Amino acid sequence: MREQKRQALAVRIPAGVLGLYNRIMKSRMSHAVVGVRKRLVQRLFRHIPLQKVADIRIGLQVYTCDNCGRILYYEQHEEHNK
């Protein structure tokens, strides 16, 4: 069942992006895609430049972490006023 869902979703992903994802997963990383929140790459807790964060948030192309090579996405989060 899980493989069928993966196959159904995979056909909607551009071949280049899917190839990148598969290469990252073959490198034995536990996650090929990792979020960026408050200029930090989650899991690594490394800062990235503010302009790159803005570009990732816009989402016109796929960005990878310069350090680990994982695919980055902008992680939406709620601001809490205290």
pLDDT tens-digit map of 7-53: 898 899 999 999 999 999 998 778 899 999 988 998 888 899 999 99
Q: What is the pLDDT of residue 81?
A: 47
Q: What is the pLDDT of residue 78?
A: 56
Domain that holds residue 65: 2-74
Whether 8 is covered by a domain: the verdict is: yes
Task: Tell me how many domains the chain contains.
Answer: 1
Q: What is the pLDDT of residue 79?
A: 53
Q: Own/partner pairs for 51-59, CB < 8 Å, 24+ apart?
A: none
Whether 80 is covered by a domain: the verdict is: no
Look at residues 14, 39, 10, 28 and name the one whose alpha carbon lies nearest to residue 69: 28
